[in-house]
């Protein structure tokens, strides 16, 4: 995906979310989000906190948060961070805006070949930017769906689809299974087809790109999607699909 500037698309995804957030009223911020036990403000606080962590690690300051000291899992650690800093929605919006601009700038300026520390594993700046785009998109759904606000899919989902497919070997290994080659023929939001993966792979996933990305983000169950899995290991791949922050 070198021909697509992921930094530009990350910034565009954040801009897209910002237009939604700018219109929220006082009661919107306290509305329960689609993320369990978090309000809309909590979701944005999480994004602000993690963007601040990107700024620190991409700037060479090392791991700014000792995630392993905050919980037994990454999710527990993220929850503890949000719990410790809950606050007023508009103030959190300002914090996120500052952090997200600084984060993109830090990733652009970082050595593209030098991995930087992240929660689970070191990532090169472009890959980290891809995971941040996927994170912002998924949490934008957590915010907009409960509020009944439209958040249409865009071509930027190609990055998210690439991330999910490229981390499938990791997903297979986590499940104690040998990785299986998979290719995808996904229908993009504009009706074109994205062909990703090994063209010779006998395991094939076809269907809407938005569904593929939502399954990877755990916002949609495979059985509720319009995706079709063919080949001996394609259904397993779809079941294990996650948009992991690893590469």
pLDDT in tens, 57-108: 998 776 656 666 676 677 788 889 999 999 999 999 999 999 999 999 999 9
d(CA 46, CA 43): 5
pTM: 0.94
Structure tokens at 82: 């949000």
pLDDT score recorded for residue 1:
41
Nearest C-alpha neighbor of 190 from the set 156, 238, 220, 222: 156
The CA–CA distances, whole Å, from 135 to 42, 61, 196, 221 equal 14, 22, 21, 18
Q: How many CA atoms lie within 13 A of 185 on its CB side?
A: 10
pLDDT score recorded for residue 74:
75
Nearest C-alpha neighbor of 151 from the set 162, 163, 139, 160: 139
The residues of the chain scoring below 70 in pLDDT are 1-4, 62-69, 71-72, 247
Query: Which domains, ranges and CATH numbers included, belong to the chain?
Result: 6-147 (1.20.120.450), 157-240 (3.30.1050)
Give yes or no for a contact between 88 and 36, defined as CB atoms under 8 angstroms apart.
Answer: no
């Amino acid at each position: 995906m070198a021909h697509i500037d992921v930094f530009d698309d990350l910034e565009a995804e954040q801009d897209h979310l910002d237009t939604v957030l700018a219109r929220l009223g006082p009661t919107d911020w306290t509305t329960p989000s689609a993320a369990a036990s978090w309000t809309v403000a909590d979701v944005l606080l999480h994004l602000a906190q993690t963007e601040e962590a990107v700024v620190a690690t991409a700037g060479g300051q090392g791991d700014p948060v000792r995630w392993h000291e905050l919980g037994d899992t990454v999710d527990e650690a993220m929850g503890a961070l949000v719990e410790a800093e809950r606050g007023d929605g508009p103030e959190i919006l300002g914090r996120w805006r500052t952090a997200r601009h600084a984060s993109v700038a830090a990733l652009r300026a970082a050595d593209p070949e030098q991995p930087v520390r992240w929660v689970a594993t070191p990532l090169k700046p472009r890959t980290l930017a891809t995971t941040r785009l996927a994170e912002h998109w998924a949490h934008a759904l957590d915010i907009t769906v409960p509020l009944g606000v439209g958040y249409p899919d865009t071509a930027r989902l190609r990055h998210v689809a690439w991330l999910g497919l490229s981390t499938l070997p990791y997903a297979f290994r986590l499940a104690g299974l040998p990785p299986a080659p998979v290719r995808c023929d996904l229908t993009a939001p504009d009706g074109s087809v994205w062909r990703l993966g090994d063209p010779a792979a006998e395991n094939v996933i076809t269907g809407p790109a938005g569904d593929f990305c939502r399954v990877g983000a755990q916002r949609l169950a495979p059985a509720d999607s319009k995706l079709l899995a063919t080949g001996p290991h394609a259904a397993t791949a779809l079941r294990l699909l996650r948009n992991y922050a690893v590469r």
